[in-house]
Amino acid sequence: MRAFLIDDYTHPLREAAVPEPVVGDHDVLVRVRAAGVNHLDEKLRTGEFRQILPYPMPLTLGHDVAGTVIRTGSQVRDFAPGDEIFARPRDHRIGTFAERIAIDEADVAHRPTSLSVVEAASLPLVALTAWQALVERGRVTPGQKVLIHAGAGAVGSVAIQLAKHLGAQVATTASAANAELVRGLGADTVIDYRSDDFEQQLSGYDLVLDSVGGETLEKSLRVLAPGGLAIGISGPPTPAFAKQAGLNPVVRLAIAGLSGKVRRQAAKAGVGYEFLFMSASGSQLAEIAKLVDAGVIRPLVGATFAFDDTPEALRQVAAGTVRGKAVITMP
């Protein structure tokens, strides 16, 4: 079957013929109808995550899928051939830039009935990231103040909507050109990151979701109220993450050094910092699907590309030229 893969880290994405997926007892074989493109795909390609998420090569990329179940393993009970699904396959089983993929049924949910296949393919990774940051880690409750960076981005656009649904007062950073867009998603306060300093305008926040890192993360610690929490999805990783991921002692030591400065700054300010590397979850996707069909969350698809143009889609996502999510569509 056709797929787009890399032969090694830093190598360009290329089309290749690959073997058909092996379907295990708990797997569903899915005909890919659309696949979302994420910054994570580019970070894997460039080798940025090779220490914390090593993959054998060659590697078919792709972390989001919407498609149709073709066949099921002998132990699958909740899905049948013909079902329309969406999923974020778990780490080490990715590969949605292909015509077909076998996915553990625990990672799969029925596609929201209100969404097109393209819209559904745009959601799994970013919606799970927002859910795990705001619901699982942040435990956001009504009346809390939440700052979400890059509100017009793929994660930020979903996180704004979810935070608002949870009853939070939401601030976000975005360009002036995207101010009305993020207000339409539910943001109460919009800071133009190009002309204004959010640290000078915001204070007393309970939670920050940071997808930028660096100086933005350090400033975010200073807008938190005592006891507040900053969750970073761009890094740096923390020792707690390294331990949970089962990384070897050398890598764990290196990660402790990378995040040492931020963790010391957080401790000094009386706030917390956690690194989030989202995990696959079909049950959480099912909850998200309910919110989508209830009109709480709507996807933000910024561009679609034909399957033949998958390398260009990844290039544009990496360059930051797509507002919202880029999606690849199959013939």
What is this structure's pTM? 0.96
Cα 96 to Cα 214: distance, rounded to the nearest angstrom: 31
Helices 282-293, 124-131: axis angle to 10 degrees equals 100
**What's the pLDDT score for residue 211?**
93
**What's the pLDDT score for residue 170?**
98
Instruction: Give CATH 3.90.180.10 domain extents, the chain.
Output: 2-123+299-329
**What's the pLDDT score for residue 146?**
98
What dotted CATH number matches 2-123+299-329? 3.90.180.10
* pLDDT tens track for 161-210: 999 999 999 999 999 999 999 999 999 999 999 999 999 999 999 999 99
Q: CB within 8 A of 226, min separation 6: which ones?
A: 269, 270, 271
Cα 97 to Cα 142: distance, rounded to the nearest angstrom: 39
Neighbour count for residue 318 (Cβ, 10 Å): 16
**What's the burial of 73, exposed, middle or buried (CB within 10 Å: 0-12/13-18/19+)?**
middle
Give the C-alpha distances (Å, rounded to integers) separating 58 from 46, 95, 103: 13, 11, 19
Amino acid sitting at position 49: F
Instruction: Report residue 2 as tokens.
Output: 């056709």
133: which DSSP letter?
I
**What's the pLDDT score for residue 251?**
87
Give the C-alpha distances (Å, rounded to integers) separating 325 from 179, 313, 317, 320: 17, 10, 8, 10
Cα 172 to Cα 187: distance, rounded to the nearest angstrom: 7
Torsions phi, psi of 271, nearest 5? Answer: -125, 175
**What's the pLDDT score for residue 40?**
95
User: Could you name the CATH architecture of 125-275?
Assistant: 3-Layer(aba) Sandwich (3.40)
- Distance of alpha carbon 10 from the chain centroid: 21
Q: Could you tell me the pLDDT band of residue 256, with boundaries at 50, 70 and 90?
A: confident
- Tell me if 103 sits within 8 A of 87, measured CB to CB: yes
**What's the pLDDT score for residue 250?**
87
**What's the pLDDT score for residue 25?**
98
* pLDDT tens track for 37-90: 999 999 999 999 888 889 999 999 999 999 999 999 999 999 999 999 999 999
Instruction: Give CATH 3.40.50.720 domain extents, the chain.
Output: 125-275
Neighbour count for residue 275 (Cβ, 10 Å): 22
**CA distance between the termini of the chain:** 14
Q: Is 268 helix (H, G, I), strand (E, B) or coil?
A: helix
**What's the pLDDT score for residue 112?**
98
Q: Tell me whether the omega of the peptide bond preceding residue 89 falls within 30 degrees of 0, making it cis.
A: no
Neighbour count for residue 11 (Cβ, 10 Å): 15
Type and span of the H or E element at 142: none
